[in-house]
Amino acid sequence: MKRVVVTGAGGFIAGHLVVTLKDKGYQVRAVDKKPVNQWYQVSEGVDNLVLDLTLKENCYQAVNGYNEVFNLAADMGGMGFIETHKAECMLSVLINTHMLMAARDCGINRFFYASSACVYNGEKQTDPDNPGLKEADAYPALAEDGYGWEKLFSERMCHHFTEDYGLITRVARFHNVYGPFGTYDGGREKAPAAICRKVIKKELYEKEEMVIWGDGRQTRSFMYIDDCIKGIIDIMYSNIEEPINLGSSEMVSINQLVDIVEGIAGCKLKRTYDLSAPKGVRGRNSDNTLIKHYLGWEPSVSLKVGLTHTYAWIREQMIRDKEMKTDITRRVQHDH
Tens of pLDDT along the chain (336 residues)?
Answer: 899 999 999 999 999 999 999 999 999 999 999 999 999 999 999 999 999 999 999 999 999 999 999 999 998 766 778 788 899 999 999 999 999 999 999 999 999 999 999 999 999 999 999 999 999 999 999 999 999 999 999 999 999 999 999 999 999 999 999 999 988 998 888 899 999 999 999 989 999 899 999 999 999 999 999 999 999 999 999 999 999 999 999 999 999 999 999 999 999 999 999 999 888 889 999 999 999 999 999 999 999 999 999 999 999 999 999 999 888 888 888 887
Query: Which residues are paired to 49 by β-bridges?
Result: 31
- Compute, in degrees rounded to 10, the torsion defined by CA atoms 4, 10, 13, 14: 0
Q: What is the SS3 assignment for 115?
A: strand
| Cβ burial, residue 265 (10 Å; 0-12/13-18/19+) | middle
147 is a catalytic site residue: yes
Please state the separation of Cα 62 from the chain's center in Å. Answer: 21
Which residues make Cβ contacts (< 8 Å) with residue 54, sequence separation at least 6? 91, 92, 94, 95, 98
Contacts of 156 (CB under 8 A, 6+ apart): none
- pTM equals 0.94
Indicate which residue of 147, 178, 184, 224 is catalytic.
147
Contacts of residue 64, defined as CB under 8 A and 6 or more positions apart, other chains included, come to: 106
DSSP-assigned letter for residue 247: S
From the CB of residue 324, how many other CB atoms can be counted at a distance below 10 Å?
Answer: 10
3-state secondary structure at position 257? helix
Residues in Cβ contact with 17 at an 8 Å cutoff, skipping those fewer than 6 apart: 6, 9, 70, 72, 229, 232, 233
